[in-house]
């Protein structure tokens, strides 16, 4: 029996070390494995992060643009005008057909966007009503695209119209 006890203890110690070593290596393998590979399925690549849009500069949009503004819902009649953009924040104008030009204020230029405001001025869409507009524009290829929010001054609370804007550079 004496000979058996040391043998059993040695066997138990060996088994303990063996399972500890195996669990350590199993743990290391589990940590390095992805959930997909651990499950035996094909790993799905992470979605690609979209490339950041190139920063915009006022100089890049300087020139004259034929613009169209179309309401996002309801009436789909376009309002057209010519926008004159300069390489700095001064001198920006909107010219509607048969009207005096309207000064455009550049509020900010950041990232890929230009934020501009105009008005109050006599609305082209709503006769006898003053309007103030707030636009966010970006370059998309050789076009300017964006959204405009028009605030109409009425006898009650002002009314709001959201428009999609798009422009092409004049030759």
- Supply the CATH number for residue 99's domain: 2.40.128.120
Residues 33 and 62 in one domain: no
Burial 4-28 (b: 16+ CB within 10 A, else e): eeeeeeeeeeeeeeeeeeeeeeeee
CA atoms within 13 A on the CB side of 47: 3
In a domain, 155, yes or no: yes
Residue 44: inside a domain, yes or no?
Answer: no
Domain that holds residue 33: 4-38
Please give the tally of structural domains in the chain: 2
pLDDT tens digits for the chain (171 residues)? 455 444 434 434 444 444 444 444 444 444 444 444 444 445 666 667 666 667 899 999 999 999 999 999 888 899 999 999 999 999 999 999 999 999 999 999 999 999 999 999 999 999 999 999 999 999 999 999 999 999 999 887 769 999 999 999 998
Closest CA to 101 of 71, 69, 137, 64: 64
């Amino acid at each position: 029996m004496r000979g058996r006890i040391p043998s059993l203890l040695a066997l138990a110690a060996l088994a303990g070390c063996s399972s500890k070593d195996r669990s350590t290596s199993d743990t290391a393998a589990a940590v390095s494995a992805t959930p997909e590979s651990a499950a035996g399925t094909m790993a799905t690549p992470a979605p690609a992060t979209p490339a950041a849009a190139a920063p915009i500069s006022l100089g890049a949009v300087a020139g004259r643009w034929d613009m169209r503004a179309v309401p996002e819902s309801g009436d789909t009649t376009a309002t057209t005008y010519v926008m004159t953009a300069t390489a700095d924040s001064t001198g920006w104008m909107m010219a509607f057909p048969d009207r005096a030009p309207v000064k455009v204020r550049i509020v900010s230029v950041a990232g890929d966007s230009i934020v501009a405001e105009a008005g109050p001025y006599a609305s082209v869409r709503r006769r006898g009503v003053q309007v103030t507009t707030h636009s966010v524009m970006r370059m998309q290829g050789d076009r300017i695209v964006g959204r405009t929010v028009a605030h109409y001054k009425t006898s009650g609370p002002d009314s709001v119209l959201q428009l999609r804007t798009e422009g092409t550079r004049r030759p």
